Amino acid sequence: MTEHKDFDKSKINEHELSKYADNYSEENLLHKISKFGAHIGLELLYKVVQLWCVLQKPEVPAKEKALIMGALGYLITPLDFLPDLTPVLGYSDDLVAITFALLKVQGYIDEEVDAKAKELLAKVFDKDVVAKL
């Protein structure tokens, strides 16, 4: 993957990311999940919530947090490469963004992240369904 010649990685830091913290709250996440959960599907939502949990970890570097914020932001943005209401393909581009971010931060996904992700999903979905993830 090549970076744009004008891209300055040094500008990705905790201070800059903190400006967006209010947009990535647990309350906002649960609201989006409850609103769009039926369209997205529980498996993808589980991955989304795992990313959100990794985002909360203080040991995750700012670069990885920026990647997660980009993937999550792409999922919730109303503008999309493929409209989300398009049958079958609607969330495929979102899935690619989420999968890419997951691959980049997989080392931070541990038992604590899994447990927290399931706990959050259980606030919106049936606990027995969530337990099968």
- 0.95 exceeded by pTM: no
Q: What is the pLDDT of residues 39-75, one digit of tens each?
A: 677 888 899 899 999 999 999 999 999 999 888 887 7
DSSP-assigned letter for residue 108: G
How far is residue 106's CA from residue 60's CA, in Å, rounded to a whole number?
A: 11
Q: Report the interhelical angle of 42-55 vs 26-40 (nearest 10°).
A: 160
**Spatial distance between the Cα atoms of 85 and 101, rounded to a whole number of angstroms:** 23
